[in-house]
Chains A and B, each alone.
Chain A
Amino acid sequence: MNAAYRVRRGFGRAGIYAGLIVGVILMIVPFWWMIATSLKSPIEILEFPPTWIPTGHFVQSAAGEWDEVYVVTRDDAAGTVTVRPIDGGSQQTLASEDVVSRARLRFQNYVEAWNQAPFARYYFNTIFVTIFVVIGVLITSSLAAYAFARMRFWGRDNIFLVFLSMMMVPQPVYIVPSYIVLVKLGWIDTYQALIIPWLAHIFSIFLLRQHFRTIPNDLYDAAIIDGCSRFAFLWRIILPLSKAMLVAVVIFTVVGTWNSFLWPLVMTNTPEVRPLQVGLARFSQEQGTSHELMMAAAAFSVAPLIVAYFFAQKQIIQSLATSGMKS
């Protein structure tokens, strides 16, 4: 008998599951809505009441083909429907039975949305930047963490504390002077502005340092006796032992870089270097009313991370929770 049993009796099993399911529904509905909208025709979007599953209405032509139409009015009393072909053409009024409704997924919205803005370029930019940032963070953090964890030098802990305190400073504080630094370097609107400032990540150094400290000294001494250099010790022994931690660092770096917004918004002006999130935001501002296109764009922008998420939820959740990353 444990506490779980007691609370269970208090709440009632059914109540617990009910509450959880409600939560699941509330989390899922916006995603469903995004995908459903992205597969509708522009006219179906205006339909009220809104449809949950993209539906198309079809009428059989004289030649026997099914043409898509949209509904202008329904007259239930007379049993007729007034329709107009979706590609333009004149209205006609038909008997209700002659108009067939079925699910119709308009995948071409995705193609259209993709073509309306340089998404290929945006995607490339994000992937390019992410790869370099991840490599950079891994290298700089491992090296620095190793030094902070296992080497002795004057002021070691104080310097580390200074590093840590930088972490507490919110981005709005350093983004303005960083902009000026980048202007002076001539890096605004270049990849450098998106990559270089992020090649070091203090929290990663912190995490790795904590982990490196747990590696027993005896291991090190034994390795030294066998003629191992300091660097070789890091490369051949510590890093392989720290795989899980390194994976965590990779994950939250990827997610953070992929989803970053304010920094790239400020540091880029042209589509050449603009990453996906900023491109998506611009697209949304430009489109205004083509909701199906906007939802399609949102969908294909989040797809990669979500797919990755479903394959590796446990690691991703653990990594992000440890990193203290919220957005």
Chain B
Amino acid sequence: MNWLDRLKRKKIMDPVTAALYIVPAGIIVLVFRMIPIASAFILSFFDVKMGRVRGFIGLAHYARLFQDPTFFSSLGTTAYYVIGVVPASLFLSLFLAVLLNQKIKGLGFYRTIYFLPVVTSLVAVSMVWKWIFHPRLGLLNFVFEKIGGNSLLWLEEPRGIFEMAAGGLGWEWWPEALSGPSLALVAVVIVAIWRGIGYNIVIFLAGLQNIPDQYYEAARIDGANTRGIFWRVTWPLLSPTTFYVMLSTTIVSFQVFTQIYLMTGPPVGGPMGTTKVIVYYLFEKGFDAGGNMGYASAVALILFAIILTLTLVQRRVVESRVYY
């Protein structure tokens, strides 16, 4: 008998059978994940138009990237978006999860409703919210005017919100650099928060329910009040969950595309490009006009590098404060 049979006899290794089991998934992963990921890096050094590789151009794509103001503004827009979505989403979902954890009646009902937007397709959600934000006929402006405010242009408003606030206060002038994210971007942020809250609530709820009652008991015996209990017991014990929610929301938010495309994309386009996030920029360059895929690959890699860096930074800075 050969070495393979001896191996199998001893039931230590069975590479052939194992290979057979892994191959179906393995081929797919190899061809559609591993090879693309590996070649994304290589591709960014080539001139590729609409699927045809045309020649090696070294760092030309990257050079062009760093000279394109649109690229930098798309990075800024994405940053504004993430800053808008993550803290607000975290805070609101934590708040609601804490409320839901209060042994109230109908927990299942509330959870079902809050999670509903998560299950609804982003396309439909974007369409409905675009309609709600409609400058003339939209629901939001109607409510606004009812409570005494002014109609706003929402998704069509390119002005930064700080600039608008200053205008609202009667100030004639406001530095352009501080004008802030456009109202249009803020509108998209609102939609993202609306949609994502349910998901984070469920995660937080699970984390909250993992905290044994004894801790609360002990705190109560020691005479702690509500605020003390939250900050000294709940918050630290919840910190792994909080960290996870913050990290996952950040990573997902960096890759936003669908809402931007649908609410501020073709045919109308975002108001003066103030909602052009980085994946949208990538899509435009790579698949829309001209199909410059080498360039798009370069952008994708930069995006990946940013996400990776952020992940590492968050782990460093925040995870050290997480109590496990």
Contact = CB atoms under 8 A, between A and B. Distances in A.
B119 A320 contact: yes
B124 A173 contact: no
Contact of A2 (B29, B213, B287): B213
A263 to B, nearest CB: 11
Contact of B43 (A34, A49, A177): A177
B317 interface: no
Interface residues of A, number: 102
A301 B121 contact: yes
B58 interface: no
A174 B36 contact: yes
B116 A45 contact: no
Contact of A302 (B31, B51, B104, B120): B120
Contacts, number: 313
B95 to A, nearest CB: 8
B25 A205 contact: yes
Contacts of B51: 179-180, 183-184
A280 B124 contact: yes
Interface string A248-291: 00000001001101100010000000000100110011001001
A24 B48 CA distance: 49
Residue of B40, B129, B203 most packed against chain A (CB within 10 A): B40
A320 B132 contact: no
A295 B114 contact: no
A244 B156 CA distance: 46
B220 A6 contact: yes
A281 B216 CA distance: 50
A7 B102 contact: yes
Interface in B22-60: 22, 24-29, 31-37, 39-40, 43, 48, 50-51, 53
A291 B96 contact: no
A283 to B, nearest CB: 9
A20 B99 contact: yes
Interface of A: 1-4, 6-11, 13, 16-17, 19-20, 23-24, 26-31, 33-34, 37, 45-46, 48-50, 139-141, 143-144, 146-148, 151-154, 156, 159, 162-163, 166, 169-181, 183-184, 196-197, 199-200, 202, 205, 230, 255, 258-259, 261-262, 266, 277, 280-281, 284-285, 288, 291, 294-295, 298-299, 301-302, 305-306, 309-310, 313-314, 316-317, 320-321, 324, 326-327
Interface of B: 11-15, 17-19, 21-22, 24-29, 31-37, 39-40, 43, 48, 50-51, 53, 95-96, 98-104, 108, 110-125, 127-132, 134, 137, 139, 142, 194-196, 198-199, 202-203, 206, 213, 215-217, 219-220, 224-227, 229-230, 233-234, 248-249, 251-252, 254-255, 257-258, 261-262, 266-267, 279, 282-283, 286-287, 293, 296-297, 299-301, 303-304, 307
Given A173-B37, A178-B36, 20 more contacts: A4-B102, A6-B225, A11-B99, A20-B110, A28-B113, A30-B194, A33-B132, A34-B124, A49-B142, A166-B33, A169-B37, A172-B299, A172-B300, A174-B36, A176-B296, A178-B32, A262-B279, A280-B124, A301-B121, A305-B119
6 contacts: A23-B110, A181-B31, A281-B123, A284-B127, A298-B124, A321-B202
